[in-house]
Structure 1
Amino acid sequence: MYIKKILVAIALIGLVVMAGFSYYVYNNVFTPNTAFNNAEAHVYIPSGASFAYVVEEVRPLLDDVYTFIAVADRKQYSSNIKSGHFVIKKGMNNNDIINSIRSGNTPIDIKFNNQERLATLAGHLSRQMELDSIAFITAMSDPAFFKKSGFTQDTALAMYIPNTYEIYWNTSAEDFRDKMYAQYQRFWNTDRLAKAAKLNMTPQEVMSLASIVQKETAKIEERPTVAALYLNRLRLRMLLQADPTVIYAKKRSENNYDQVIKRVLYKDLEIDSKYNTYKYAGVPPGPIAMPDVSSIDAVLANERHDYLYMVADVTNFGYHKFAKSLSEHNRNKVAYVNWINKNGVNR
């Protein structure tokens, strides 16, 4: 009888212990542990981060950081940190949270457009992804990659087609570059290559001309007209005489890409640079900025007209007046010169 009572007592104690353990497990592992009001929160964990770093990152998002730490230790996450961008959803428990930041690396959308140089593109990317600009510019300017891809320091910017791309936040600079090269190759499909060949231009020459079109007009509907004008000049072996190339040549020669130039002066036309299309025939050796798809396709569309000259239209800002003859162009130019003089646009 006495032994039976002892066994019953032991059983009761076991049940109490089991109940306590079950409560502990449920409370620590399966109880919701988020403290934010939005539908989800985003956590960025850099390569080589410590568990202490992760704890500080998630602390503001949690009701109870200590139960999170306990479960992380039990699941051995604290010694196996993964880098990346992770999403924690409102109402997740510790188990869900740890599973998410351990194996739920989620791509982000990165955007870039109309950068003038690889360096500015690298800086722009570094503000959206894990790596700094030096890592990006080093990968983008790698001589071995240039040799393999056929790009040069002058033409490399043409490889990056402005768009929105889905990519992992902690992607390496080399992997990002290679992904953009693959995108470039897909962009230059059979149809676009055939159109470029019909113009007797390489894809990189098309990109250089498209960058001028991009800088000449922000009006997408006007770009085919501007592109065709420059193609007319190329066919007639005329100088392109595009003011945006002079502005770029000035910035490049002075290594000052931050200057704002609203008016090209006659002395600027004498800058000795292959990018100065007032002095050198043909398209520049590389793009003067990233052309977007509308500018590239404007060149490839090859609109037909006889215009050879253009000047800003001061009666319809943002657009241009086009002319077939120099005399007509000079009449259009008078109105433009009078306007910039009247408004004191000296540089």
Structure 2
Amino acid sequence: MNHIDEEVLQSKPEKVKKPKRKKPRVWLVSFWVCFSLLFLMLVVAVSGLYYVWNQLGPTKAGEPVEVTITKGMSANSVSKLLEEKGIIKNSFIFGYYLVLKDEGANFQAGKYELTPGMDKVEVIAKLNAGDVIAEDTIMFTIPEGFTIEQIAEKLAAEGLGDRDTFVALANEDRTWSGAETVLLMPKEAANVKYRLEGYLFPDTYEFAKGITEEELILRLLKEQDRKLASLPEDWVDQLDKLGITMHEMLTIASLIEREVVVDEERAKVAGVIYNRLAEPMRLQIDATIQYALGEQKEVLSYEDTELDSPYNTYRIDGLPPGPIANPSLDSIRAALYPEEHDYLFYVTKKDGTNTHLFAKTYREHQQNIEKSKQTAE
């Protein structure tokens, strides 16, 4: 090797070291993995919610179909039937929706006309209300002031259930699903003749043929809720203002219902009741004895006024243990908004007007009794 070669070899450049490549940071990888998983879960959740929402939506509109709900049919069976008839898309999801909304237990038996494309809420409301095809219904009127026994007898006479079964159910210590007012009844309603007396609203109803006694009672209880909801917004505050409970208010309303015929006098008679309670004076209302006796006697005897009963307001102080009838909304309103005055007594006129003479003192009351007798002559 010559000299030049040695110099060339000696001048050969050194190898340049390549910079080391940095490894990706662990946290960045973890972030993307977690983000991907969360995104995937979100996509699945949104897709699932959309599917459920879609399955609960209306079906394609179509011609009305006839759907028959039989007595004792479960909510699941009803759901399957509705899917078969094209009213809902998915009976499984609809069934869970019923559970979530606490619905399905109050569906009434009967033949319904339902239309594909109906909203699920509309379908449920129709089944709850017993809005069946007209030929399968019975119009039924419960007069204002009727007792549970009178309601039961009238229902049985119209072919709507068994009297004794209805009366027994009305006295059961139980929860009525979907009814609210009855929940305010005292847990220990001691000495009441019937637990639901005063809570079954008197009105004209359209019932499905084949309706059960339990369904009948629940319908009347719910109607009471609806009617109370129509009162002025401050009606609950009125209970506190008057110092009474819901149960006591319905009791007073039932006394008014049985004592008053002319609407204009309801609030005035209510005022008398509150005045006597405030004195305190015994109410001495004949209708309470008639309720205890179980008969509407035109004239009470002295022996009747001595009847040993918690409902006999000639012998007990304060209110009877519960309502003596099922009052109208007018009587409920009078019990909540009594007329303010100083009257403590009233007597029915004998002139056929069904109105009363009111008095502030017992002496005036005696004079009114004589005046009442004279009007009958």
Question: TM-score normalised by the shorter chain: which range applies?
Answer: 0.5 to 0.7
Q: Distance in 2 between matches of 1:322 and 1:104?
A: 49
**TM superposition shift of 1:339:** 7.3
Range with greater deviation from structure 2 (308-317 or 213-222): 308-317
1:96-129 CA-to-partner distances (Å, cap 9, x unmatched) read xxxxxxx963454322124553232122223345
Q: 1:171 aligns with which of 211, 214, 218?
A: 211
2:139 match: 109
Query: TM-score, structure 1 length as denominator?
Result: 0.60
1:195 match: 238
Q: 2:226 aligns with which of 169, 186, 190?
A: 186
**TM superposition shift of 1:229:** 0.9
The answer to whether the aligner puts 1:297 opposite 2:340 as a matched pair is: no
1:52 match: none
In the alignment, is the contact (CA less than 8 A) between 1:309 and 1:329 conserved in 2? yes
Query: TM-score, structure 2 length as denominator?
Result: 0.56
2:347 match: 311
Q: 1:131 aligns with which of 129, 137, 161?
A: 161
The aligned amino acid for 2:261 is A
CA separation of 1:325 and 1:86: change in aligned 2, threshold 3 A: same
**TM superposition shift of 1:47:** 6.7
SS in 2 for 1:274: coil
1:36-69 CA-to-partner distances (Å, cap 9, x unmatched) read xxxxxxxxxx979xxxxxxxxxxxxxxxxxxxxx
C-alpha RMSD over aligned residues: 3.4
CA separation of 1:337 and 1:278: change in aligned 2, threshold 3 A: farther
CA separation of 1:105 and 1:122: change in aligned 2, threshold 3 A: same
- Percent identical residues: 29
Q: 1:235 aligns with which of 278, 288, 303?
A: 278
In the alignment, is the contact (CA less than 8 A) between 1:188 and 1:203 conserved in 2? no
Q: Distance in 2 between matches of 1:339 and 1:274?
A: 35
**TM superposition shift of 1:232:** 1.1
SS in 2 for 1:109: strand
1:139-163 CA-to-partner distances (Å, cap 9, x unmatched) read 3233333898446553411110111
Aligned residues between the structures? 243
- Structure with a larger share of its residues in helix: 1
Q: Distance in 1 between matches of 2:352 and 2:149?
A: 35
The answer to whether the aligner puts 1:213 opposite 2:256 as a matched pair is: yes
In the alignment, is the contact (CA less than 8 A) between 2:256 and 2:266 conserved in 1? yes
Range with greater deviation from structure 2 (286-295 or 125-134): 125-134
Q: Distance in 2 between matches of 1:186 and 1:310?
A: 33
CA separation of 1:335 and 1:186: change in aligned 2, threshold 3 A: same
The answer to whether the aligner puts 1:268 opposite 2:304 as a matched pair is: yes
Which protein shows a greater Rg? 2
1:81-107 CA-to-partner distances (Å, cap 9, x unmatched) read xx74799xxxxxxxxxxxxxxx96345
Q: Distance in 1 between matches of 2:234 and 2:209?
A: 33
SS in 1 for 2:234: helix
Alignment of 1:50-69 (within 5 A): none
Q: Distance in 2 between matches of 1:181 and 1:311?
A: 33
Q: 2:315 aligns with which of 279, 287, 307?
A: 279
The answer to whether the aligner puts 1:225 opposite 2:268 as a matched pair is: yes
In the alignment, is the contact (CA less than 8 A) between 1:228 and 1:304 conserved in 2? yes
**TM superposition shift of 1:177:** 2.0
Alignment of 1:73-112 (within 5 A): 84=110, 105-106=133-134, 107-112=137-142
In the alignment, is the contact (CA less than 8 A) between 2:139 and 2:204 conserved in 1? yes
Q: 1:162 aligns with which of 184, 198, 202?
A: 202
Q: Distance in 1 between matches of 2:373 and 2:317?
A: 26
The answer to whether the aligner puts 1:244 opposite 2:287 as a matched pair is: yes
Q: Distance in 1 between matches of 2:298 and 2:216?
A: 35
SS in 2 for 1:158: coil
Range with greater deviation from structure 2 (204-213 or 129-138): 129-138
- Which runs of no fewer than 5 residues in structure 1 stay unpaired? 1-45, 49-82, 88-102, 343-347
The answer to whether the aligner puts 1:331 opposite 2:374 as a matched pair is: no
Alignment of 1:254-265 (within 5 A): 257=295, 260-265=296-301
In the alignment, is the contact (CA less than 8 A) between 2:145 and 2:257 conserved in 1? no
In the alignment, is the contact (CA less than 8 A) between 1:85 and 1:169 conserved in 2? no
In the alignment, is the contact (CA less than 8 A) between 1:128 and 1:169 conserved in 2? no
Q: Distance in 1 between matches of 2:236 and 2:146?
A: 24
